[in-house]
Amino acid sequence: MNVNGTPYRTIWLKSDDPDTVQLIDQRNLPHEFNIEDIRSVDSMARAIQEMHVRGAGLIGAAAGYGMYLATLEASRSSSFLDSIASAYETLKATRPTAVNLVWALDRQMKAINGENGEDAQVEIARKTAQEIADEDAAYCRRIGEHGLQLFREIATKKPGEPINILTHCNAGWLAFVDYGSASAPIYAAHDAGLPVHVYVDETRPRNQGARLTAWELGQHGVPHTIIADNVGGHLMQHGLVDLVLTGTDRTAVSGDVANKIGTYLKALAAKDNNVPFYVALPSSTFDWTIRDGVKDIPIEQRGGEEVSFAQGFCDGQVKRVRLSPKTSPAANYAFDVTPARLITGLITERGICQANEKSIRELFPEKN
Ligand code: MRU
Which of 135, 170, 189 is the last residue in one of the domains? 135
pTM higher than the cut 0.95? yes
Is 242 one of the annotated active-site residues of the chain? no
The model's pLDDT over 206-265, given as tens digits with 9 standing for 90+, comes to 999 999 999 999 999 999 999 999 999 999 999 999 999 999 999 999 999 999 999 999
For the chain, list residues with pLDDT below 50. none
Inside any domain, residue 230:
yes
Beta carbon of 249 within 6 Å of any ligand 1 atom? yes
Query: Which has the closest alpha carbon to 337: 261, 284, 270, 266?
Result: 261
Provide the pLDDT for residue 79: 97
Same domain for 231 and 306, yes or no, is yes
Q: Strand runs (DSSP E) across 265-360, as ranges? A: 277-280, 286-287, 309-314, 317-322, 335-338, 345-348, 351-353
Point out the domain boundary residue: 135, 158, 184.
135
Looking at ligand 1, which residue's alpha carbon is closest to its atom 9? 260
My answer on whether 182 and 240 are in the same domain is yes
Return the pLDDT at 190: 98
Q: Using a 6 Å cutoff on CB, does residue 259 contact ligand 1? A: yes
Predicted confidence at residue 174, as pLDDT, reads: 98
Q: Tell me: do 123 and 225 sit in the same domain.
A: no
Is 164 found in the same domain as 129?
Answer: no
- Domain match, 189 and 98 both: no
pLDDT at residue 286 in the model: 98
Give the CA distances from residue 281 to residues 154, 344, 350, in Å, rounded to whole numbers and listed in that order: 21, 14, 10
| Cβ–Cβ under 8 Å, residues 318 and 28 | yes
* CB 167 near ligand 1, within 6 Å: no
Out of 135, 154, 187, pick the residue that ends a domain: 135
Q: Is residue 140 part of a domain?
A: no
In this structure, the answer to whether residues 348 and 208 fall within a common structural domain is: yes
Task: Using alpha carbons, list the distances in angstroms from residue 149 to 118, 191, 281, 364.
Answer: 47, 13, 16, 21
Average pLDDT value over all residues in the chain:
98
What's the pLDDT score for residue 134?
Answer: 98
* Terminal alpha carbon distance of the chain: 35
Residue 290, phi-psi category: left (phi > 0), alpha (psi -120 to 50), beta (remainder): beta
Burial of residue 66, with CB atoms counted within 10 A of its CB: 0-12 exposed, 13-18 middle, 19 or more buried: buried
- Is 275 found in the same domain as 129? no
Check whether the bond before 205 is cis (ω within 30° of 0). Answer: yes
Q: Residue 156 belongs to a domain with what CATH number? A: 3.40.50.10470
- Residue 141 forms part of a structural domain: no
**Number of domains within the chain:** 2
Q: Are residues 348 and 211 in the same domain?
A: yes
Q: Check residue 273 and give its pLDDT.
A: 98
How, if at all, do strands 277-280 and 345-348 pair? parallel
Give the pLDDT of residue 140: 98
Give the per-residue pLDDT at 59.
98
Query: CA 367, 170, 32, 6 torsion: positive or negative?
Result: positive
Residue 271's domain spans which residues? 146-367
